[in-house]
Each structure stands twice: as structure tokens, then as C-alpha cells.
Chains A and B, each alone.
Chain A
Amino acid sequence: MTAREALTHPWLTVRVQIALGAIFVAAALPKIADPPSFAHMIYNYRLLPGALVNITALLMPWVELLAGLALILGVWKRSARWLIGLMLAVFMVAITINLLRDNAIDCGCFDVSAANLTHEQRIRDMWMVLIRDAGMLLMVAQLWWAEKRQKLVVGG
């Protein structure tokens, strides 16, 4: 078995799909439970106009939850994968902009309570979030690659 075959093997693909879905479900639940705190987190990014902060804080966690559930259950996989990839790209751009501004913020990814951290600790955490999001984007890429390869094989 070649490395390409191993990386696109259905055994791996199913596990990546479920893991990615579970991560997004886990990320969505605290935000759904406490929209005001998540709105505060979004405000701290200083990227959205004030009028859009609350509706984004309400909508985004539910999109994360439904996309994550779709991946876990294996329904609407393709659209769920694209939505998750898009969200990850947006998160990475938002974190990068704030790193460039030296605006140390809590990412609000899995926990919406404000952490009692120093500026340096927050900046370090933001770098870790970037790396983590890049890793999840690789998982999305694996799903896309496996599907593409499967089509080629099925198509002959």
C-alpha cells in the first residue's frame, strides 16, 4: 500500500470525518449555552460592526453544531465539509489579523469564559490556535482528497 493509498483509505477517512465532526460539536455547545459571552468574544476581535456581533454569536455555533453532526452522521458530508473548511479559514484570518495588531484576545473556540491570562500568554495561545486550525484544515483536505480519489477509482 502506497502512502497515497494509506492517506485516502476509507478506514482513515471515516475516523477523520467523525473526529472533525465531534470537535465542531464540542466547540459549539458552550457557545450555544451562553450567547452573551460568545458575543463578547466576537466583539474583542474588533472585526465586525457592533450591529452584527450578536446575530453572529447566535448563528455561528448552530452552524458549527449542524455541520459537525452532519459529518458524524455521514449526511450532507460535502456541504458540511465545505462549511467547516470555510469557518476554519475565517477563524485563521481573524486570529492572524489580531496577531498582527498585537491585540491579545481569548479565542472563544471551546470556552467562552474570559481567561485570566497575561498579554504574552494570550498571544502564545493565539499562535497555538492558528496551528490547531491549520491541523483541522488538513483534516478537511484529507476528506476532500479521499472523496476525489474514490470517484476516480469508481469512475475507472
Chain B
Amino acid sequence: MMLKNSFVQGVLLIAVALVLALVSNGFASRTRRVVLVGYYPDALVVPPRQPDTPPPPVGVAAPAPVTTTVAQSPAPGQPPMAVETSTIARPAGATTTGGATPAPGVVVPRGASPPTTTSPAGAAAAPQVPVPAPQADPIARFTPHPDKAYVEISGDDAALLYSKGVLFLDARRTSVFEEGHIAGARSYSVWEADVDDKVNQLYEERSDPSEQNLPIVIYCSGGACEDSHMLAQKLWNIQFNNVYVYKDGFPDWQKRNGATRTGGQP
């Protein structure tokens, strides 16, 4: 009888704990909340992409289209941002929503020069003047790779892509992001409940298939950190085909004296 009572009490205690857990999660702030059923695939072993995955497959409800602008100054009520001096800079006017990439939809083999297109009509009308050979675009080798969820890149490559205005995503926790992140990077913590909404928003921003071939760089804390790889899989599953994981992450960026920023804004 006593054993039965203890069992019932134990079950009751767990039931009360479950109710409290659900209520506390419901009232938790955005950065402290988790979805009840998480999606955490093995970050380093990528299953093949589903052939007929209807985008957007991430999350439950597709969000309304949004327009995101990258704030260069803190919004009212936001903590001030501190920009450090750096040796790695973005070009003037560069935004984080795009990048200097091969022409949309054009796949350039690694190491090859960008393709040139000639118009028959234009060729007929154009005067016969020598045209200087086009400079090879240094990021032309970062071509879409739909067969791979991500490609790991070094700090040199990350700096190159950064200088071309490529979008950077920070997969670490928001609290860590606010302590310091790559200037212009957006916070996409895979452990927080709103990551799927953010991925869906990005999909809406880049709804054109050609935009989904633009490079995206993801980083976390370097070392054994796998958050970037997890986020890369989420992006790949929603049809982003040109995702790079900056493996050495933020610690390496700081060593390189790259541009950093504190606060919640990119």
C-alpha cells in the first residue's frame, strides 16, 4: 500500500512538473523559449535532401512576407552598438541581403572565370574595339552546391565573402550574440524557438530561386561547435543551395581583427 502511494505521489509530482514546465515555457521570453518537439539532426551527418520538399518545410506555419532592413544604428530602446576597428571591411553600400555573386542561376565551376554572354544583335552593332579581359571575380568559385548542405570554409574565405557583402548568420545563442558578433551578421540561434520563423522569413526575403543561390555564411563559436552545421541543414532543407560554414567561427574572426559589433542589432 505504501509502495502504491509512493508511486502515485511520484507520478503526481511528475505531472505537476510537466504542467509547470509548459506554463513557464509559454511565458518565457523569445530567447528563453524552446519548441516542444525539437529538430536536431546529427549536425555532421547530413541525410539526403527530400526530392519533392515543398518549400518552406521549416516550422509549421509559413509567415507573412516581410522586408528586413539592416539597421546601422540602434533602434530606440536598444543597447548602443560598439563597432571595433577592423582589418576586414565590407564595401561601401554593401548590404547583408545579397552579395557579389555569379549571375543568378549561373553555375560557375570552381576556379573558372565567370561566363561571358554575347548578344548576336549587340555583336553586330558593336564596334570592333579591343575589350580588356574581365578580371576574375574572386568569389566566383563560391558556386551553388545543391548536393551538399554546407561547405566548410576557412577564415580567409570568410573574410573574402564578408568583404563582398555576403550575408552572415550567427548560430550562437542570442545572449552570446549580443556580447559580440560579426558586424552585420544576423542572430539565428538554433536552440531558440523562433529559429524556424527566422529561416522562413529569410526564405520570403529570397523567394526567387536565383536568390537562393547567393552565398550565405554561418558561424558559431568554432572548435567543436556544431550549431552552424545544424542551421546550415535547416537552410539547405528550405532550398538554399549555397551555404558555407565558417568553421573556426567568431574566435577566429576576433583574432583576425574582423569588424565586430555588440548589442542585438546586426
A residues with CB within 8 A of B: 32-37, 39-40, 43, 50-51, 53-55, 57-59, 61-63, 65-67, 70, 76, 78-80, 82-83, 114
Contact = CB atoms under 8 A, between A and B. Distances in A.
A36 B32 contact: yes
B36 A55 contact: yes
Contact of A34 (B13, B32, B38, B40): B32
Q: Which 4 A-B pairs have the closest CB atoms?
A: A50-B40, A62-B17, A79-B9, A36-B191
Nearest to A69: B13
B13 A66 contact: yes
Given A37-B191, A39-B38, A70-B13, 15 more contacts: A36-B31, A36-B192, A43-B40, A50-B40, A54-B34, A54-B36, A55-B36, A55-B37, A62-B16, A62-B17, A63-B17, A76-B13, A79-B7, A79-B10, A82-B10
Interface of B: 2, 6-7, 9-10, 13-14, 16-18, 20-22, 24-25, 28, 31-41, 173, 189, 191-193, 221
Contacts of B37: 51, 54-55
A62 B34 contact: no
Given A35-B28, A53-B38, A66-B16, A76 B9 contact: yes
A34 B37 CA distance: 17
A57 B40 contact: no
A59 B15 CA distance: 9
Contacts of A37: 173, 191
A109 to B, nearest CB: 18
Contacts of A33: 32
Nearest to B21: A58
Contacts of A79: 6-7, 9-10, 13
